[in-house]
Amino acid sequence: MKRYILLLFVLTGLSNGVDAAAFENKGNNKQIEIASPGPDGFPVLISGAIPVTVNAYHPESPVRQMTYSCFVDGKKLFTGRRLTQATDWSWKDMIHLPNRPVGKTVRIKATAVFSNGERIEKEVSFTYHARADLVDLRENWDNLAGNASHTGRSVSAVDPPLQMAWTVNIGALIERTSPVVHQGRIYLASIDQGRKSKAYLYALDSQTGNLRWKYPVIHSVKNTIVVEDSAVYAQTVDGSLHAIKTVDGSLKWGTQLHVSDHSPLTDGLAIANGVLYAGTGTGLCALNARNGKVLWENTAWSQGEATAATLTVGANRLIGSAQGLGLYGNDATTGELKWHLDRNGITQRAASPALHGGLLYVTSAQSLFIIDAATGLIIVRRTYPFDLSVTSTPLLTDRLIVFGSADNGLVAVDRETLDVEWQFAVPQAIETSPVLSGNTIYFGASDGNLYGVDKDSGQQVWQHPTGAPVLASVAISGNALIAVDFGGNVYAFTTKR
């Protein structure tokens, strides 16, 4: 899988500080994964049908055909049925099992035929049961990691083990656009891979995942979208900013940000208390979210190379980034630059800071920084023997600081001593921000898996394979965890009963 992760960063053109060589694969293995159904559970639609989702990819030898067979208690139901290609990574179909065979063992075997003639098979078995609990989204999850300060803690406890309530494919690839939740609906956005006019904003029904509406944009949305009150907001790589009505997907207002056309706009948005923060460099601005009126524009610092960081808001500070140039703290009300950090290894940084109690927590290169948000004073810098050049925003629990790494999995350090308490090994980089729900930390990784680990011990308590890189952080609301993968699949999980 390392080979196709390397291709991902080449195709998307992101400059995020991640060493691309870390994704090289000395072998030439082709892999497929059955993302749905899975051994941990499967979705059963109201009709009784089961969605089948298979992810597979190889840069030099594309998949030519994907088929699957189904067996119930060892008896063949069908063989060689073709799946429909949804995106470059993902294939899908629906199984209608006769008489809803509750308690019986169902086995699915998928076969991928690559363009060079190679065949790779994957199978999964599960016991058929009644439908999972209906998804009940309660709290809003309006920004990356839940709010504009990116604290990453959910109000509700979604306890493992989890089972899939539904999954859908939106027909386009999803990069770092984490799903957001508002008033019981799910919103996300896609990239336009290969200029196929498939960049959209989407609204999905929480109960079924069915599409409520989609709004086309000319260029890719590569990072955090936000939602507040009656609109969802997204900025595209060319600097177009869109406010879309949540009720029907029509345009509320739009504008062109004053950003450079020499580097794509891959920063993420933030929204708080009716103010939308967008752009970067001299195109960084605050707008009235209701009507798009510009409240202020930044004049103090310039745009750097494309960055994968998302803006952070809190304690009357707006924290922005310029790849290669550093970290900036602007007054969130007036836009006045209050401080700038460009030393101690903080310039080559991809992660978005989390803000707790007036302090910023952010990783860069091989260091964890704790910074006074008001003054920019570095209170603590702790260096570790592993690569932290990822887009993972630190999570604070009652006693730990938890963050992803490029080469050492998920890392937890003591909040007082900053000594490493535990590490959870993952074979690929963790670009997502860990999220806390109850006693479980959930995150996705570039190895194509969703994970849940105990917050105190770091022991794994749940895992779901998708087979496509997971670059976007999960959202949690009510009784559900919402996740996406790069192949364009959206998943809703609830606690398994």
Statement: residue 30 has pLDDT above 90: no
Please give the DSSP secondary-structure letter assigned to residue 353.
P
Q: Residue 451 is which amino acid?
A: Y
pTM for the whole structure: 0.93
Over the chain, what is the mean pLDDT? Answer: 90
Statement: residue 10 has pLDDT above 70: no
Instruction: Let me know if domain 144-495 sits in CATH 1.10.260.40.
Output: no
**pLDDT tier for residue 65 given thresholds of 50, 70 and 90:** very high
Spans of all domains in the chain:
2-127, 144-495
- DSSP class per residue in 310-352: B-EEETTEEEEEEBTTEEEEEETTT--EEEEE--TT-SS--PP
Instruction: Let me know if domain 2-127 sits in CATH 2.60.40.10.
Output: yes
Instruction: Count the neighbouring beta carbons within 10 Å of the beta carbon of residue 463.
Output: 16
**pLDDT tens sequence across 428-456:** 999 999 999 999 999 999 999 999 999 99
Q: Is residue 428 within 8 Å of 407, Cβ to Cβ? A: no
- Burial class, 260, CB count within 10 angstroms (exposed 0-12 / middle 13-18 / buried 19+): middle
Q: Is residue 308 within 8 Å of 14, Cβ to Cβ? A: yes
Distance, in Å, from the CA atom of 129 to the CA atom of 138, rounded to the nearest integer, reads 26
User: Would you say the CATH fold of 144-495 matches that of 2-127?
Assistant: no
Exposed e or buried b per residue across 153-174, where buried means at least 16 C-beta atoms within 10 angstroms of its C-beta: ebebebbbebbbbbbbbbbbbb
Cα dist from 88 to 6, 116, 192, whole Å: 15, 17, 12
